[in-house]
């Protein structure tokens, strides 16, 4: 795993009066019901995580599992009840409010399910707004806003207002706005869940493209396992405020740690989670014309083998890692 950028150690969030004292009195082994009898809700319980630089780390779980609360704790939009959150080795919970606010403005980006665009501002003005708050000079923020608008594929719509855009376009503006300050760490809380299925797929493709260019460290929340499979380097599954397993999509499907994880992933077939690198062999001759990036899953790669016998697998820089052959893909697809 890459060097950790963000580390959580025994993070708790308990809602209710004098939550820290109640947590101390009950102890970390207390059940959720014991907290409830005291009039408290343990929304996040004893979470330990390490998120590597440049990683897409997906947090998922059913509604009420604590995933959104955890992400808000990671950025201190909500104050954790206990634990440590380290960003580049520095404990965020020991920072002053002013220091934390400056960190969120300059080194963290956030995108939420609701676009929250300012209706009286144009696309370019919405994207530039965080830079204006930072006090960036007008010429610089306008130039950076134009570059971000182009990056998300909205070049030519800089002067449009939010009401003139589709839902998918509005979400692209929200993404461009969060990227304007060039954050190191990017939080996305179900950013595509309000979109229609076709637009959602398009936005996932756009997200993958952006990450290939920007290589951000990303914490992404979703309740959709198919979405998680497409995007994640690793996934954390939450239940009742606790993280029950962390691993690659392949790990979770092939080696579930609990009955809950097994049920959560039960409908997912192996080709959906197995990366092409799992089946690829060494380079055996000239590189074929057809190529696939290393993070492609077998189910997505399979249609290419209707017309190709062998496909070249490449890393992020386009270098050949190996060759994947039709017979191996067919065998895995039949195995299911």
Range of the domain at 294: 272-335
Determine, yes or no, domain membership for 304: yes
Domain end call among 268, 283, 308? 268
State the DSSP string of 35-89: HHHTT-EEEEEEEEEEEETT-EEEEE-STTSSHHHHHHHHTTSS--SEEEEEETT
Give the separation between CA 72 and CA 187, rounded to whole angstroms: 9
Domain end call among 268, 283, 298? 268
SS3 per residue for 184-202 = CEEEEECCCCCCCHHHHHH
Can you give the pLDDT at residue 336? Answer: 58
Determine, yes or no, domain membership for 37: no
Cα 103 vs. chain centroid, distance in angstroms?
A: 19
Query: pLDDT tens-digit profile of 198-246?
Result: 888 888 888 888 888 888 999 999 988 889 988 999 999 999 999 999 9
Looking at the fold, whether 281 and 234 belong to one and the same domain comes out as no
CATH code of the domain containing 311: 3.10.580.10
Q: Give 291's DSSP letter.
A: E
Looking at the fold, whether 215 and 103 belong to one and the same domain comes out as yes
Give the separation between CA 182 and CA 105, rounded to whole angstroms: 10
Determine, yes or no, domain membership for 115: no
Domain count, the chain: 2
Determine, yes or no, domain membership for 302: yes
Radius of gyration, CA atoms only, the chain:
22
Looking at the fold, whether 197 and 102 belong to one and the same domain comes out as yes
Domain end call among 243, 268, 293? 268
Looking at the fold, whether 259 and 277 belong to one and the same domain comes out as no
Looking at the fold, whether 203 and 222 belong to one and the same domain comes out as yes
β-partners of residue 293 are 314
Give the separation between CA 274 and CA 295, rounded to whole angstroms: 9
Looking at the fold, whether 204 and 312 belong to one and the same domain comes out as no
Looking at the fold, whether 75 and 204 belong to one and the same domain comes out as yes
Looking at the fold, whether 299 and 318 belong to one and the same domain comes out as yes
Give the separation between CA 238 and CA 128, rounded to whole angstroms: 35
Looking at the fold, whether 198 and 300 belong to one and the same domain comes out as no
Question: To the nearest whole percent, how much of the chain has pLDDT over 90?
Answer: 61
Q: Taking a C-beta distance cutoff of 8 angstroms, is the pair 36, 241 a contact?
A: no
Determine, yes or no, domain membership for 293: yes
Looking at the fold, whether 190 and 291 belong to one and the same domain comes out as no
Can you give the pLDDT at residue 105? Answer: 86
Determine, yes or no, domain membership for 224: yes
Q: Above 80 in pLDDT, residue 282? A: yes
Query: pLDDT tens-digit profile of 35-74?
Result: 999 999 999 999 999 999 999 999 999 888 999 999 999 9
- Tell me whether residue 159 is exposed, middle or buried, using C-beta atoms within 10 angstroms of its C-beta: 0 to 12, 13 to 18, 19 or more: exposed
pTM of the model: 0.86
Give the separation between CA 218 and CA 200, rounded to whole angstroms: 18
Determine, yes or no, domain membership for 174: no
Looking at the fold, whether 189 and 73 belong to one and the same domain comes out as yes
Q: Give 21's DSSP letter.
A: H
Give the separation between CA 263 and CA 279, rounded to whole angstroms: 26
Give the separation between CA 123 and CA 21, rounded to whole angstroms: 47
Query: pLDDT tens-digit profile of 102-148?
Result: 898 889 988 887 778 899 999 999 999 989 888 889 999 999 999 99
Determine, yes or no, domain membership for 152: no
Looking at the fold, whether 235 and 103 belong to one and the same domain comes out as yes
**92's tokens:** 């965020």
Give the separation between CA 320 and CA 312, rounded to whole angstroms: 7
Q: Above 90 in pLDDT, residue 22? A: yes
Can you give the pLDDT at residue 2? Answer: 65
């Amino acid at each position: 795993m890459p060097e950790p950028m963000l580390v959580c150690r025994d993070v708790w969030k308990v809602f209710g009066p004098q939550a820290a004292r109640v947590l101390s009195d009950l102890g970390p082994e207390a059940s959720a019901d014991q907290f409830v009898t005291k009039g408290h809700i343990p929304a996040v319980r004893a979470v330990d995580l390490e998120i590597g630089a440049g990683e897409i780390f997906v947090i998922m779980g059913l509604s009420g599992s604590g995933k959104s609360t955890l992400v808000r704790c990671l950025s201190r939009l909500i104050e954790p009840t206990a634990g440590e959150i380290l960003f580049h080795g520095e404990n965020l919970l020991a920072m002053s409010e002013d220091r934390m606010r400056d960190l969120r403005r300059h080194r963290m980006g956030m995108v939420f399910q609701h676009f929250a665009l300012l209706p009286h501002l144009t696309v370019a003005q919405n994207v530039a707004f965080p830079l204006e708050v930072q006090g960036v000079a007008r010429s610089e923020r306008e130039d950076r806003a134009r570059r971000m608008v182009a990056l998300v594929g909205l070049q030519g719509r800089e002067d449009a207002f939010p009401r003139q855009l589709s839902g998918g376009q509005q979400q692209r503006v929200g993404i461009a706005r969060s990227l304007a300050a060039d954050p190191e760490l990017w939080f996305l809380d179900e950013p595509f869940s309000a979109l229609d299925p076709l637009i959602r797929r398009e936005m996932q493709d756009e997200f993958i493209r952006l990450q290939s260019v920007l290589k951000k460290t990303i914490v992404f929340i979703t309740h959709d396992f198919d979405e998680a499979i497409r995007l994640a380097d690793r996934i954390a599954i939450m239940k009742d405020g606790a993280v029950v397993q962390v691993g690659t999509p392949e790990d979770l499907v092939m080696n579930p740690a609990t009955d809950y994880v097994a049920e959560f992933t039960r409908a997912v077939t192996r080709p959906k989670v197995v990366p092409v690198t799992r089946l690829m062999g060494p380079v055996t001759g000239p590189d074929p014309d057809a190529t696939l990036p290393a993070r492609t899953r077998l189910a997505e790669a399979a249609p290419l083998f209707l017309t190709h016998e062998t496909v070249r697998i490449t890393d992020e820089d386009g270098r050949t890692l190996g060759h994947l052959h039709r017979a191996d893909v067919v065998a895995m697809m039949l195995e299911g």
